[in-house]
Amino acid sequence: MADYPINKIRNFGVIAHIDAGKTTTSERILFYTGISHKIGEVHEGDTVMDWMEQERERGITITAAATTAYWSPTDAKNKAAEGEPRQGREDEKVKLNIIDTPGHIDFTIEVKRSLRVLDGAVVVFDGVAGVEPQSETNWRYADDYKVPRVCFINKLDRLGASFDRSFQSILERLSPHAVKLQIPDGHEDQFKGIVDLLTMEYYTFEGDKGEKIVKGAIPADLADKAKQERAAAIERIVEQDDEAMAEYLDGKEISVERLRKIIRRATIENKIFPVLCGSALKNKGVQLVLDAVAYYLPSPVDISATNAVDQKTGKDMTISPDDNAPFAALAFKTATDPFVGSLTFFRVYSGKLASGSYVLNTRTGQQERISRIVRLHANEREEIKEIYAGNIAATVGLKATKTGDTLCDPSVPVVLEGIDVPEPVISLRAEPKTKADQEKMSLALRKLSDEDPTFRIRSDEETAETIISGMGELHLEIIVDRMKREFGVGLNVGRPQVAYKETISGTAEAEGKYIRQSGGRGQYGHVWLRVEPKERGQGYEFVNAIKGGSIPQEFVTPSEKGVREAMDKGVVAGFPLVDMMVTLYDGSYHEVDSSEVAFKIAASTALQEAAKRAKPILLEPIMKVEIITPEKCLGESTGDLASRRGQILSINDRSPLNLKVIESRVPLSEMFGYATALRSLTEGRGTFNMEFDHYEPVPNNIAQLIVEGKK
């Protein structure tokens, strides 16, 4: 039998822009739920959820950390203390499976794969900055996976904080469906407490760590504003329920319990996003965020059934969270643990799994034995015997399972929807210092690329060097640091290189022939290819248009392999070709001499020739850059951007701090060393955020320099 009722489980993640206070919020959650007995602080480097050395040194989250906790809503505890019999007992308690995700764009895969398996999210915002670039990116990922969200406007104790301004930025930049459920009493050093607009209760947080929640009367100077805000919130809530709307218009009072039920249903359907407030660092409001998770975020049974494909028949099907159904789970993360080896995190969508049983990996077709199942608490593990539908856990020692693989009952093979992995945009050349480091480096690269699908490795055929690629300079810096520390690899690395791509701007045709005659059997391959450009970002498509058997079917697949190999080599400067359609429409064969190898070489030759005729161009990654600079340094900052081929989209005020926010698009190749340049331009006060936006053609004069540099 399941260890906890499935309707009392909440699988949620804490997501936000870097430095909005995700990990600080997560640390308070662990403390208030009793999981940890000391609050770790990011600035002191002793947090539970940021356990890697690299995270503690830099004060940022790099890898998503999972933990399990239990929580009884504050109302239930208060009623239990007041002597009401049912409330506050075990049946009021919810089980929280929590994932704390990174905020830095270089580790965006951690957010994507976490949101793929979570039922809800707490989105944390900086009360000074409001919505920031990574807030928008994470919100978009949550939209893609239809994840219900609760918003927490944090850091209201900071200089320049404004709850109303941050709330307005959510309405304007993320969703018009955000609804205030709380308002703060004061800002900055005057931030004292929180008004709950549903119950019209005033909360303050006392004790060393804010663990004592004190309810009181709303201060007189806040009473009128609270009434106005409550009326606005109730209107937005009852819009979601026709019956409640009719009663409200008739002047009837809607009970708090009923309002919570309406909010819950609307939140699960993504029609409402409740907005809360507080300061995690000053221990104000985090318990009320946990209450909102319990009240409004879905349990596994509240979300729609999961889409899957029956591997035997190829038909679409759905999977429901039922303990008695065949087992099906998605592996969403792999990690190398220094004590137990390979760890595979998975979310169970149906059935149950016991240690010692076998599961089928439907990607590889291999069965793997589940030797141990562990419940994670950051970097600590608690061994359990069984795991049930709706839960998140990890298993030890799976050899062939990677991110996005489906694990299921061998007798009922199904494939769950995988995880989209973004393409890397930056590369480094890496070489071992000694012969002994060569073997260690191969092992380290294999393990790290298994852990992180956005980290790629390839070998440069011309120089025989190893090229490692990732999502940004920080991403590769962390990878290199881990190779040195965890795997003891002595390593030399080159300067970062941009991951350029090539494409074609016209249509062309070409013939490819490979004919060799020797004493015995010869080689004969002959193809005609047509290449056409596709829209940016649409990728590569191969079309088999052979009619009348001019090329037998068994030589079509080798021809496509030849096309792919030629595309990987490129035609302008050796960068991969993308966004094009290749049509194999004619050719010929020899009954004796034709072979797969001959057609592969012929197709490769034809593709290279056709691409050269189709006006090939270079593409470069363009980054979305947000720069925050003092007003007096605005001219220098915009001038510097213009010199970097930057396109300025907008300049906005961030009052009352006399700061300007510049939204721009800048080629990645121009952004190396920008942090240092910006500091010198702005007297050390400027900051910037950068994330990949799209690929764009490189201007001819710069393309010429890139080609010459490559040669």
Residues 577, 533 contacting (CB under 8 angstroms): no
Token pair belonging to 150: 């609760």
Residue 57: what are its φ and ψ, rounded to 5°? -70, -40
Nearest to 344 by CA among 407, 276, 268, 425: 407
3-state per-residue secondary structure call for 62-129: CCCEEEEEEECCHHHHHHHHCCCCCCCCHHHCEEEEEEECCCCHHHHHHHHHHHHHCCEEEEEEECCC
Q: How far is CA 263 from CA 9, 196, 296, in A?
A: 18, 14, 7
For residue 179, how far is the Cα from the chain centroid? 25
Burial class of residue 407 in the structure, from the number of CB atoms within 10 Å of its CB (0-12 exposed, 13-18 middle, 19+ buried):
buried
Distance from C-alpha of 131 to C-alpha of 149, rounded to nearest angstrom: 15
- Please give the torsion angle defined by the CA atoms of residues 249, 253, 259 and 262, in that order, rounded to the nearest 10 degrees: -30
Q: Find the helix or strand (DSSP H, E) in which 429 lies.
A: strand 426-432
Separation CA 394–CA 251 (nearest Å): 52
Residues in the chain: 711
Instruction: Find the radius of gyration of the CA atoms of the chain.
Output: 29
Selection from 274, 280, 284 nearest residue 191 by Cα: 284
User: What is the bridge-based pairing of β-strands 366-369 and 426-432?
Assistant: unpaired
Pairing of strands 456-459, 466-470: antiparallel
> What does each C-alpha distance from 577 to 275, 422, 574, 608, 700 come to in angstroms?
46, 17, 9, 10, 18
The dihedral over CA atoms of 49, 53, 58, 62, expressed in degrees to the nearest 10, equals -50
**CA 679, CA 451: separation in Å to the nearest integer?**
34
Q: Which residues does residue 406 pair with via DSSP β-bridges, in sequence order?
A: 330
Angle subtended at Cα 179 by Cα 174 and Cα 181, rounded to the nearest 5 degrees: 135
Nearest to 238 by CA among 258, 218, 224, 223: 258
Tokens of 467: 């090229």
d(CA 576, CA 88) in angstroms, rounded, equals 61
Annotated binding site for GTP: 16-23, 100-104, 154-157
- Round to the nearest angstrom and report the end-to-end CA distance of the chain: 66
CA distance 705 to 682: 31
Give kind and range of the element (H or E) at residue 343: strand 341-350
**For 418, phi and psi rounded to 5 degrees?**
-80, -155
| Tokens read off for 534 | 């596709």
* Exposure string for 50-62, b = 16+ CB within 10 A, e = fewer: bbbebbbebbbbb
Binding-site residue set: 16-23, 100-104, 154-157
In this structure, what are the phi and psi dihedrals at residue 406, rounded to the nearest 5 degrees? Answer: -95, 130
Q: Which residue has tokens 């933990």?
A: 67
Residue 546: its H or E element: none
DSSP string, 291-305: HHHHHHSPPTTTSPP
